[in-house]
Amino acid sequence: MQKLNSKIPAGPLAEKWSRHKAAINVVSPANKRKLEIIVVGTGLGGASAAASLAELGYNVKAFCYQDSPRRAHSIAAQGGINAAKNYQNDNDSIFRLFYDTVKGGDYRAREANVYRLAEVSPNIIDQCVAQGVPFAREYGGLLDNRSFGGVLVSRTFYARGQTGQQLLLGAYQALNRQISKGNVKMYSRHEMLDVVVKDGKARGIIARDMVTGEIKRFGAHAVVIATGGYGNVFFLSTMAMGANGSAAWQCYKKGAMFANPSFVQIHPTCIPVHGSQQSKLTLMSESLRNDGRVWVPKKLEDAQKLREGKIGPNDIPDEDRDFYLERRYPSYGNLVPRDVASRAAKERCDAGYGVNPEGKAVYLDFKYSIERLGKKVIEARYGNLFQMYEKITDADPYKEPMMIYPAIHYAMGGVWVDYNLMTTIPGLYAIGEANFSDHGANRLGASALMQGLADGYFILPYTIGDYLAGEIMTPKVDVNAPEFEAAEKEVTDRLYKLFNVKGTRTVDYFHKELGHIMWDYVGMSRNEEGLKKAISGIQKLREEFWADVKIPGELNNLNPELEKAGRLADFFDIGELMARDALLRNESCGGHFREESVTEDGEAMRNDEKYAHVSIWEYLGEKKEPALHIEPLVFENVKLSQRSYK
């Protein structure tokens, strides 16, 4: 199985990355000028990579589906970014960040990758400060930190509740600088619809100009996918409306393997679903759990009255409130990791203690910290989040607790990559949320931003040189080659096929149906019977979709329904693969909870003997079952233990 060489360097953990960097090839400045790189996506991963590669001298073409690179979904990240700076003198270190990340991921990530992530994390903060990112400061002028779910040190850097925005603007500014110098050519409102593989190597992409509908070919010596996560397979999620798994999925269909698709993260603190007209869910930053206490009523009849609107939360005295996280997990309390907090909320609501009319909400209460710290402090910390909450729900969280419920938020699974971030297609790389590499079965808060920027600023720019050093004799890629022609035809045929179904049902109808299947059977809690139902249900729905979807408008004009239909067509396939992967992994780890694998008191139970591996799927053709490969995970530096937050 030569395809699956993870290329993890030999040597002690702490020296792997420096030894690797010393050993890999470097491209000379003169040769860099002759090489072209395509970067698809301009989120934290893509923008930082495109800018850094262009600074090095490569010719970069960057793509995004929005009208501007600044609007990538990374913009929405609120809480913060981790880094092992130990500025707080609380005994943080690279090793501790590494250890927390591996443990938080429930021992389903590669040690070497995670260590490297922790190792470069301090550089990210330095870089962002130099770019002018206005991180929060202490009165003495030093950088401020906060602590974030699931860890015991304060290592999270933040810019109010808009950290993702500020980090992305930093990367976008670096990108703009390279665009102005002519080193990056930016293609906004362009959607990648296929990757082109020639002689076994990635050589370009096919993209649709979303304004004119024109299908275009782009060639390069290497292609980088930085297209984010596939959480929207659930229809309702905290992802941006256009976020999709399609670029990654096209890579999969061309031979890039897909790892751990069933590992998705459910975030515990989102504004609950409300009615049937809702289009997306809004996250309330995890940082709120630092100062908010989570509770439901102790008495079923109180919950009933709350649901009926007969009483309000403030009518329930403290002794009748069940602070169930503090009760179940005394040492971590409200700061348990996301998966634990999410399942605990579901457990209470399933038991009948939910507090909104739908019975699917718990309280997050700031009364206690307002009493302790004063309203001013809370306002300074969370003002914009409170405002957002009030605008959406029309309720004032300074006066009554927020209502929250878990929602889909992040995909740990993604395109399989080796230590160099290269997929199983030579010359094709995947970075940021689009790859699977660092978070195992559960991602810790404030670590996605760290990973995106680590990949883009400090890892890919080195590792891609190793491959491109072998490409310096390759001339400019000819987009008239038959491989491009074939890929373009495939794309056009598929668009025609979709457009010409001319059925009776809207894209959203099908997407909502898919979302229901996914949430019910492939969501927070999974079992064999449900997963099998999901697979057959998705297959049936996909057939209906291809027979009955109705796409209005024109092919050669701006056509949002056509865009959505193309993405949904891939979500059916992604959803099915997720269910398959979840079915085969009969253990509970991180975000993946199998009802068949629990301890006596109902907590998740891992099975390291059978499942301490990455599950990797290979596409074998339409209507064929994909093949499963396994990359064993070797732990030499951490001790595997059942996670305990008690």
Partner 1 sequence: MADKILKKLYIKVWRQNNAQDKGRFETYEIENVSTGSSFLEMMDILNNNLIEKGIDPVAFDHDCREGICGICSMFINGRPHGPDSAVTTCQLHMRKFNDGDTITVEPWRAAAFPVIKDLVVDRTAFDKILQAGGFVSVNTGGVPDGNAILISRDDAEEAMDAAACIGCGACVAACKNSSAMLFVAAKVSHLAKLPQGRIEAKARARNMVARMDELGFGGCTNTGACEAECPKSISISHIARLNREYLVAKFSE
Residues that bind ligand FAD (CB under 6 A): 40-46, 63-66, 72-74, 76-81, 163-164, 191-192, 226-228, 238-239, 243-244, 246-247, 283, 409-410, 432-434, 446-449, 452
SS3 489: helix
Q: Which does 159 bind (CB under 5 to 8 A by kind): partner 1, ligand FAD, none?
A: partner 1
Amino acid, single-letter form, for residue 518: M
Least separation, in Å, of the C-beta of 598 and partner 1? 35
Find residue 60's DSSP bridge partners.
37, 184
**Per the structure block, which two tokens stand in for 273?**
């679903």
For the bound state, the minimum distance from the C-beta of residue 162 to partner 1, rounded and expressed in Å, comes to 7
625 makes contact, choosing from partner 1, ligand FAD, none, with CB < 5 to 8 Å by partner type, with none
Distance from C-alpha of 197 to C-alpha of 541, rounded to nearest angstrom: 31
Place of tokens 């999410």: 342
Q: Calculate helix-pair angle for 44-56, 163-180, nearest 10 degrees.
A: 30
CB of 424 to ligand FAD, least distance (A): 19
Closer CB to partner 1, 421 or 477, in the complex: 421
Expressed in angstroms, the distance from the first to the final Cα of the chain is: 42
Nearer to ligand FAD, 184 or 535 (CB): 184
Name the residue among 277, 275, 266, 207 with its Cα closest to residue 239.
266
Burial class (CB in 10 A: 0-12, 13-18, 19+), 599: exposed
Question: CA separation (Å) from 5 to 54, 333, 407, 419, 631?
Answer: 29, 41, 35, 9, 9
45 interacts with, out of partner 1, ligand FAD, none, CB within 5 to 8 A per kind: ligand FAD
Query: Which CB, 385 or 448, lies closer to ligand FAD?
Result: 448
Instruction: Tell me how far apart the alpha carbons of residues 508 and 615 are, in angstroms, rounded to a whole number.
Output: 31
What whole-number distance in Å separates Cα of residue 14 and Cα of residue 103?
A: 18
For the bound state, the minimum distance from the C-beta of residue 462 to ligand FAD, rounded and expressed in Å, comes to: 18
Strand partners, 589: 592
Side-chain half-sphere exposure of 316, counting CA atoms within 13 A: 27
Contact partner, 160, from ligand FAD, partner 1, none, Cβ < 5-8 Å per class: partner 1
Rounded Cα distance between 359 and 378, Å, is 28
Question: Residue 232, Cβ neighbours under 10 Å: how many?
Answer: 27
- In whole angstroms, how close is the CB of 175 to partner 1 at the nearest point? 9
CB of 70 to partner 1, least distance (A): 6
DSSP assignment letter at 626? P
Residue 244's binding partner out of partner 1, ligand FAD, none, with CB under 5 to 8 Å set by partner kind:
ligand FAD
Rounded-to-integer distance, Cα 303 and Cα 299, Å: 7
Nearest distance, CB of residue 201 and partner 1, angstroms: 26
Q: Is 328 in the active site?
A: no
> At closest approach, how far in Å is the CB of 574 from ligand FAD?
13
- Quote the least distance from Cβ 547 to ligand FAD, whole Å: 25
300 binds, among ligand FAD, partner 1, none (CB under 5 to 8 A by kind): none
Q: Would you say 30 or 130 has its CB closer to partner 1?
A: 130
Cα(447)–Cα(590) distance, integer angstroms: 15
In the complex with ligand FAD, the residue whose CB is nearer, 79 or 575, is 79
Instruction: CB nearer to partner 1: give 275 or 475.
Output: 275
- Closest-CA residue to 338 (of 566, 590, 93): 590
Beta bridge partners of 267: 407
* Geometric angle at alpha carbon 554, from 551 and 556, rounded to 5°: 130
Q: Which does 166 bind (CB under 5 to 8 A by kind): ligand FAD, partner 1, none?
A: partner 1
Contacts of 119 (CB under 8 A, 6+ apart): 14, 17, 94, 98
Name the minimum Å distance from CB 506 to ligand FAD.
Answer: 21
Beta bridge partner(s), residue 549: 505
Cα distance between residue 585 and residue 606, in whole Å: 10
To the nearest 10 degrees (0 to 180), the angle between helices 507-521 and 560-584 is 20
Nearest to partner 1 of 90, 138 (CB atom): 138
13 Cβ contact list (under 8 Å, min separation 6): 111, 112, 115, 636, 637
Instruction: Tell me whether residue 366 or residue 457 sits nearer to ligand FAD (CB atom).
Output: 457
Pair type for strands 264-270 and 258-259: unpaired
Closer of 426 and 503 to partner 1 (Cβ)? 503
Q: CA–CA separation, 386 vs 378, rounded Å?
A: 10
Query: What does the CA dihedral 516, 517, 520, 525 come to, rounded to 10 degrees?
Result: -130
Of 71, 96, 338, 643, which one is the catalytic site residue? 338
Among residues 247 and 507, whose Cβ is nearest to ligand FAD? 247
Question: With CB cut-offs between 5 and 8 Å by kind, which of partner 1, ligand FAD, none does residue 246 bind?
Answer: ligand FAD
**Residue 371: which region, alpha, beta or left (left: phi > 0; alpha: psi -120 to 50)?**
alpha
Q: Which is nearer to ligand FAD, 36 or 433 (CB)?
A: 433
**387 contact, one of partner 1, ligand FAD, none, CB 5-8 Å limit per kind:** partner 1
- What does 447 interact with, of partner 1, ligand FAD, none (CB < 5 to 8 A by kind)? ligand FAD
Selection from partner 1, ligand FAD, none that 80 binds (CB < 5 to 8 A by kind) is ligand FAD
Q: In the bound complex, which residue of the shown chain has the CB atom lying closest to ligand FAD?
A: 43
**How near is the Cβ of 169 to partner 1 at its closest, in Å?**
7
* DSSP character string of 58-102: -EEEEE-SSSSGGGSGGGG--S-EE----TT-SS--HHHHHHHHH
> C-alpha distances in angstroms, 406 versus 143, 289, 319, 338, 353?
31, 13, 25, 9, 15
Q: CA nearest 538: which of 501, 511, 502?
A: 511
Known catalytic residues? Answer: 338
